[in-house]
Amino acid sequence: MKTLPLITLLLISGFNGPIQAAVDVIPFRIEESRIVNFGDDKVSRGSPSLKLTLSLIGPEAESAVRYGALKLEEAVDDQGASLIPTNDVFNEAAKFKEYANAFFRKSNFGGSQPAAPQVELTLAVSRRAATKIVRLRGSLSLAEQGTIQTIELPALTGAGKKSLEIPEGAGVGITANVKAGENVRSIEVEITGDESALESLEVVDAGGKKVSNGMSSWSMNGGPAHKSIGLNKPLDGSMKLVAKIAVNRKITKVPFDLKNITLP
């Protein structure tokens, strides 16, 4: 059995200036998928991919709840092929998301000590003859939970755009666009800035009961995120849009430089 390399990283805080903190980063799992078509069945399938899961060990990783802002500067296999993905139209690498094993860490399955937080990197598929990733260099950022604030936008009726008053330090902007008419059953929302600061977004009635029944999302080429919030009854003057925003979050930038990672 081959032993995967153990790398110690230097973390740099984005708000408090440079700090030194030893965080052990272990390549935990690598998965490769390839597709060979022998005929056209008109069924859309996923693209070939190479996914690398990394475990982060250290107090800074434990105190964070999300990772994102992934930037790959170099990724190459031992055949000289670049593993940096070229197609990311939805800007997924920049988005912040929960740790890849967040559910199991929260559930504390079996009462045992939760596993170290994990992040997942999606790479381009290596050449078939390749046996290892010679070098994988770049950076990602870790975000702590911060303080959760509830911000409301009342009086939603009336066509036009309405913006929530969000503290500037949150780094996110939310604008609702209400359609004209008497039977409005959805609200369009545009989110600019750091979408990961948004913990939840819903519509409630005068009694605080949730009346939103679903939400679809889309964005293109790193532009603003757009959401459509469905309602289980027509919009009226008692309803309000309620957002929970994380403010005062600590963002820690993590440069990494991994070498000689064995391929499947």
Of 19-28, 109-118, 137-146, 169-178, the poorest mean pLDDT is in 19-28
Residue 36, phi then psi, degrees to nearest 5: -120, 115
Q: Are 172 and 194 in contact (CB under 8 A)?
A: yes
Average pLDDT over residues 114-135: 95
Burial letters 19-29, b for 16+ CB under 10 A, else e: eebebebbbbe
Question: Candidates 3.30.1120, 2.60.40, 1.10.10, 3.30.465; correct CATH number of 147-247?
Answer: 2.60.40
Question: In the predicted model, is pLDDT for residue 58 greater than 60?
Answer: yes
- The values of phi and psi at residue 62, to 5°, are -65, -35
Q: What is the tens place of the pLDDT at every residue in 61-110? A: 999 999 999 999 999 999 999 999 988 877 788 888 999 999 888 886 66
Token pair in block for residue 98: 């929960």
Mean pLDDT, residues 144-169 taken together: 91
Query: Among residues of the chain, what percentage have pLDDT more than 90?
Result: 57
Angle at 228 between CA 224 and CA 231, to 5 degrees: 155
- At 35, the pLDDT band (50, 70, 90 cuts) reads confident
pLDDT of residue 40: 82
Amino acid at 238: S
Q: Which of 2-11, 143-152, 217-226 has the highest mean pLDDT?
A: 143-152
User: Higher-confidence residue: 179 or 14?
Assistant: 179
DSSP annotation string for 63-113: HEEEEEEEEEEEEEETTS-B------TT-GGGS-EE-TTHHHHHHTGGGSP
pLDDT at 39: 83
In whole angstroms, what is the distance from residue 136 CA to residue 74 CA? 6
pLDDT of 13: 33
pLDDT at 164: 95
From residue 181, alpha-carbon distances to 152, 163, 188, 202, 227 in Å are 23, 20, 14, 21, 20
Instruction: Share the mean pLDDT of the chain.
Output: 86
Confidence at residue 8, expressed as pLDDT on a 0 to 100 scale: 37
Three-class SS of 153-182: ECCCCCCEEEECCCCHHHCEEEEEEECCCC
Mean pLDDT (whole number) for 165-183 = 90
Residue pLDDT, tens place only, 17-29 = 334 446 788 899 9
pLDDT at 108: 67
Q: Which residues pair with 77 in a beta bridge?
A: 133
Residue 6, pLDDT > 50, answer no
The pLDDT-based confidence of 10 (bands split at 50, 70, 90) is: very low
Residue with tokens 């050449």: 127
- Distant-in-sequence, close-in-space partners of 264: CB < 8 Å, separation ≥ 6: 30, 31, 32
Domain boundaries, the chain: 7-145+250-262, 147-247
pLDDT of residue 1: 37
Burial class (CB in 10 A: 0-12, 13-18, 19+), 44: exposed
What is the mean pLDDT of the segment spanning 218-242? 89
Interval 39-43 mean pLDDT? 82
248 pLDDT above the threshold of 50: yes
What is the reported pLDDT for 23? 74
178 contacts 159 by C-beta, under 8 angstroms: yes
Place 111 in a pLDDT band, splitting at 50, 70 and 90.
low
> Which residues lie closer than 8 Å to 33 by C-beta, 6 or more apart?
46, 48, 49, 50
